[in-house]
Chains A and B, each alone.
Chain A
Amino acid sequence: MKPFRLLSLLILLFAVPVFAAGELTERLAACTVCHGEHGEGRAGAEYYPHLAGKPAGYLLRQLRAFRDGDRRYAQMGWLMRNMDDAYLQAIAEHFAALPPRPPARATATRPPDPVLAQRAQTLLAKGDATRAIPACIACHGEQLAGLEPAIPGLLGLPEEYVVAQFGGWRAGVRRTPAPDCMAQIARALDASEIRAIAHWLSAQQQAEPQRPAPAGTLVPPQACAGLPDSAAQVLP
C-alpha cells in the first residue's frame, strides 16, 4: 500500500506542473505556430527564434517591449498590445521553464567562409578594444548559453533573425533605456561582421542544449539597462 501511495504522490507532483503547462500551451496557440509547440523553434523556419529555456527575465522584457513599442515587430506588437504584465510574466515563465532543445535546423546552410568565421570567433571571444566592443562571451557566457535572469543564450538562433536584431538596434526599433549596450555594440560593428557573427552562431551544432548560467556566475563588464544591479558593476 505504502509504495503505491508514494507512487501516486510522485505522479501527482509531476502531473500538476505538466497539466498547468499544457493548459497554458492551449491558450498560446498564437505563439506556438511560429515558435514551436515547446518553444523549440519551427522546423525549416529561417527567422523565428526559439524560446524554450531562455531566461524568464529576458523573455518578459522582450514581451513588454513588443507591447510598449520598444521593440517593433508588427505581428508581435499586434498580439501583445492588450496583454497585462501578469499574463506576460506567466508566458515568459512558461517558455523559460520548457527544456531547451536543439533548435529545428533550417534545411540548407551554406558552408562558412573561413576568413569571416575567424573574424566572428575573434569578436565572440575577445571583442575589439579599439572600438570599445566587448567580447560576446563577457556577458552571454563562455558557452554562449546566457545568464540568468536576463541575458539570453545565442547558439541556435537563425542567421536572419540575428542580423535583423542588429539592424533593429542600429535603427533604434529595438531599444532599451540608456545605457543600451547592444545598440552601442551594433553601431560599432560593420555589416560584414554582423553577418559573420550571425552565420557562425546559426551554424553551431550543439550536442547538449544548455540552460543559462545561474545568476551571479559571471559579472558582465558593462552596466546595461534591463539587467539586475548585481550585473551592473563595472569591473576594474
Chain B
Amino acid sequence: MNLRRRLLLALITLLPLLLFAAAWVVLLFLRQGGMTPFRVPLNQARSVPSDAALIARGRRLAAIGNCAGCHTAYGGAAYAGGRAFITPYGTVYSSNISADPRYGIGAWSAAEFRHAMRHGVSRNGVQSPVFPYANFARIDDEGLDALYAFLATVPAVATAPPADALDFPANLPGAMTMWRLLYYRPAPAVTATAAATPQQRGAILVEGIGHCAACHGTRGTFASLAADAELGGGRLAGWYAPALNAQTLAHYAPGALADYLRGTAVDGRGAYGKMADVIAQNLQHLSPADAQDIEAYLRTLKPQSAARESVTRELPAEQRALGDHLYRQHCAGCHGEDGSGKAGKYPALTTSSAITGPDPINAIKLVLFGAAAPATPQNPQPYTMPPFAHTLSPDEVAALVSTLRARWGDGGRPVDANDVGAWGGIEP
C-alpha cells in the first residue's frame, strides 16, 4: 500500500517533467523540418533534362560547389566518392555521385536529388552533417535541377566507397537524426532576381552552393552549425582556413581576390593547402562575374570580435635569435629581409594569414613541406616553395615560425617542437 502510494506520488511529480520533455522533442522535431525531410520521393520516374544551357549551368554550380573535390578519392575516379573525412566523431567517406545506377545516383529522379540536397536525407538514409546540406538547402529549384542534369553526364563508376567508421556517440542508431533535432534549422532557398546587387548575388553563392563556411567557419559542440561565426575562420583537415571579412581581405587590391579565386597568383601569392585543391579542381573555372560577386560580398562582412588566446607568452631571446638566423639563411633570399616578398614571384609574409592569422598550423606545414600553387591558365607555371622537413629540426621549425609570427603578426602563443610534431603531417 505504502509502496503504491509512493509510486503514484512519483508519477504525479514526474508527469509534468515527462510531458515537458516530450513537448520539447516535438518542438525540436518540428524545427528541423517535421516529417517532410523523411519523406524521400522514391517512386518517381527518372527523366534527365538534356538542355545544354541547363547542363552548362549545372557544371558552373558544381565548380563553385567543389563537388568533385569532396566526391573524389586521391587516385580515384572523379565523382566516385571514397574520400575520407576525418572528424572528431570518426571517419566519413564521401558517396559515389557518378551516374552509376547502383553505386552512384544514376537511378535517382530529379525529385529525389532535390530532396537529398535540400534535406540531407536520401534512399541511403539521413546523411552526416559532413555533407553541407544546410548550405545546399538555399539553392533554388532551377539550380538543383541544373546540378542534377550535369551530374547525369558524369561517367558512371561502379564502385562503392568504404563504409563510414564513426565513433561513439555518432555511431548510435538515430545519431544523425538526433543531430538534426539539436542543430539543423532549414533555411529557405534563395533565387537571385534580375535586380540583385553583386553583393546579394555573391551572398547566394557563398552561403549556398559555395558552402565556404564548411572550411572557413568553426563548428561548435557535436559539429553544431554556428550561424553567427559562419566565416570566422576555422581549422579543418589539418589546415587553418582564415576568417573572411573586410579586414582579413584588405591586403587584396580591388578585383585581386576574384583573380586569386580564379587561379591567379596575386603579388606572388598563390593558393596553398586545401584552398589550392579547391582552386585547381574547381574555382579556376569560375566566371569572372561570379568571382567578382563573391569578392563583393566577402568585403561587406565585418570582422567578429576576436576570441583569441589571451595568453601571449614572450618568445625567449635565444629562440628569437635562432629564428632570425634561420630566416636570413633559408627564407630571406625569396621573401626578402623585410618579408615584403618579390612582386610577381614570391609572396610577402607581412600580410600572409599564415603569419598574421590566429593559427600557426599553416606556417608550420609550409615550412615543412613547401608548396606549389595550382597550375591554371592564369598561372601556368607556378613558383614553388621548397620543403624544409629534411633540413630543419622540429625545434628549428618552431623557432622560425614563432619568430616570424612575433615579428609580423601579434605572435600569440609561440609554438614548440611538440606542436610541429602534432600538426606537421600531410595527407596525400
Contacts and interface: CB of A to CB of B under 8 A. Distances in A.
Given A26-B383, A32-B386, A82 B426 contact: no
Category for how many chain B residues contact A: 20 to 34
Nearest to B368: A75
The DSSP consensus for interface residues of chain B is: loop
Contact of A28 (B345, B384, B387): B384
A227 to B, nearest CB: 22
Given A69-B428, A75-B387, 9 more contacts: A24-B381, A27-B384, A30-B370, A30-B371, A30-B384, A33-B386, A75-B369, A81-B428, A83-B374
Nearest to B385: A30
A70 B375 contact: no
Interface string B344-387: 01000000000000000000000001111111000011111111
B280 interface: yes
B74 interface: yes
Given A29-B334, A30-B372, A30-B384, A75 B74 contact: no
A19 to B, nearest CB: 15
A69 B369 contact: no
A54 B326 CA distance: 34
A78 interface: yes
Interface residues of A, number: 27
Contacts of A83: 372, 374-375, 382
B387 A82 contact: no
B277 A27 contact: no
Contacts of A29: 334, 383-386
Interface of B: 74-76, 276-277, 279-280, 334, 345, 369-375, 380-391, 426, 428
A-B pairs with lowest CB-CB distance, top 8: A69-B75, A30-B384, A33-B386, A82-B280, A82-B374, A87-B375, A84-B375, A30-B386
B383 A27 contact: yes
Contact of B75 (A31, A70, A87): A70
A196 B83 CA distance: 40
Contacts of B372: 30, 79-80, 82-83
Interface string A20-57: 00001011111111100000000000000000000000
Contacts of B277: 81-82
B286 to A, nearest CB: 16
A113 interface: no
Nearest to B334: A29
B345 A26 contact: yes
B389 to A, nearest CB: 7
A74 interface: yes
B334 A90 contact: no
